[in-house]
A and B are shown apart, each in its own frame.
Chain A
């Protein structure tokens, strides 16, 4: 009796073992597929965001590449580079706010969007203050690297960038990194973009800045603000300010 009971139990145990094997295999396959898909989709997002598709259009000694990109999309305005960051992208200007929030420079959907300037700004960077937006992404993609300028020593060491347009190459001198609210109209409004009092604006920038060095702006100077999200707080934004020369 005992032997028969044991025999049956052992038989059941062997079936059970096979079942466990099957369950483990299925679980492993699902986890591998899910994990693999997640890695692939993250890679896609980051690859697009890091701008590998654009680099062949980057202006070198002349603006040929930029002109070619403008032929493809007439919303392209410039090429923006900030030294020692991943910021190295074409700048577009949409017809309405946020047109390029989830659209790449070729007009296709992409989660990371494009680097775009305010619709209300002068397209040739003639306003006193030109506002440029970019997503805050991981791995320093788009404007993710603006975080670096929150660090005092990085801010001290890195001050340069370039803005290429078709007919001019502007030198960018970075002078402030600001932490503010998305609804701060001192930074985000058309009145701010055409301000008649740049010294007062610099004063306000200083008051909101995390890092700052005096620029002594005069009326007639031009500055750009590179704005991105700060995920640490609701509606938080960081803006990196640079002077155009």
Chain B
């Protein structure tokens, strides 16, 4: 009685009218089986499609990354979610990029292939011999003791990046120039939840 109640209306109708040994019942069972199999197949196909779509979107075209420290303060804060675009073929100064060395870093491009970057202990940043005016940077740009040696002349496919927070941040002063093959993409959007 209880089991009967759970069965679909049509099936109980068939059992009532024709009985469990009737051809109608067997046909119904067969059709249900085929429908179940096709539903499962459809789900698996769409699941694979979704995974491929997500991979193309966020693995090949865009990328998502979470800012892990305050090196880019005040523009980016720890915990921000960055959306970056991977398919740029060239970058401009002032672009914020995600790059992969021994780990993933974020930084702002200061100079590009062919440029010469120099820093002194007073915290002046010079590119091609000219002091760079940076109205949105609030800390002096000093070289690190065990970091890169200045001046640095950039090779054709290299960029020099600095973080906006110049005190203690890990950027090209720490890991040296960045090859374009190490650049993962240009940050095009930020979603912030903390420290707004």
Contact = CB atoms under 8 A, between A and B. Distances in A.
Interface stretch (B35-43, B142-150, B162-170): B35-43
Contact of A235 (B29, B33, B130): B130
Contact of B111 (A9, A10, A27, A234): A234
Contacts of B39: 10, 13-14, 17
Would you call the interface of chain B mostly helix, strand, loop, or mixed? Answer: helix
Interface string A71-111: 00000000000000000000000000000000000000000
B35 to A, nearest CB: 7
B147 to A, nearest CB: 21
Given A10-B40, A13-B40, A181-B128, A23 B50 contact: yes
A231 B112 CA distance: 11
A20 B46 contact: yes
A3 interface: yes
A44 to B, nearest CB: 17
A13 B32 CA distance: 14
A9 B53 CA distance: 24
Nearest to A182: B130
B93 interface: yes
B22 interface: no
B7 to A, nearest CB: 11
Contacts of A13: 36, 39-40, 42-44
Contacts of A6: 33, 36-37, 40
B127 interface: yes
A233 interface: yes
Interface in B1-57: 29, 32-33, 35-37, 39-40, 42-44, 46-47, 50, 53
B186 to A, nearest CB: 14
Contact of B189 (A17, A24, A34, A182): A34
Given A14-B43, A16-B47, A234-B112, A7 B36 contact: yes
A38 to B, nearest CB: 9
Contact of B35 (A3, A10, A20, A235): A10
Nearest to B50: A20
A183 interface: yes
Contacts of A24: 50
Contacts, number: 56
Contacts of B189: 34
A10 B36 contact: yes
Contacts of B43: 13-14, 16-17, 20
A182 B35 CA distance: 71
A3 B93 CA distance: 64
Interface string B109-121: 0011011000000
B93 A9 contact: no
A6 B128 CA distance: 71
B92 interface: yes
A3 B26 CA distance: 13
B42 A233 contact: no
A3 to B, nearest CB: 7
A20 B93 contact: no
B115 A234 contact: yes
Contacts of A20: 43, 46-47, 50
Nearest to A101: B135
Nearest to B38: A10
A233 B112 contact: yes
Contacts of B42: 13, 17
A234 B46 contact: no
Contacts of A17: 39, 42-43, 46
A10 B36 CA distance: 5
14 contacts: A6-B33, A6-B40, A7-B36, A9-B40, A10-B35, A13-B36, A20-B46, A183-B130, A234-B112, A234-B115, A234-B127, A234-B128, A235-B127, A235-B130
Which 8 pairs of residues, A with B, have the shortest CB-CB distance? A10-B36, A13-B43, A183-B130, A13-B40, A16-B43, A234-B115, A13-B39, A10-B39
Given A16-B43, A23-B50, 6 more contacts: A6-B33, A10-B39, A183-B128, A231-B92, A234-B111, A234-B112
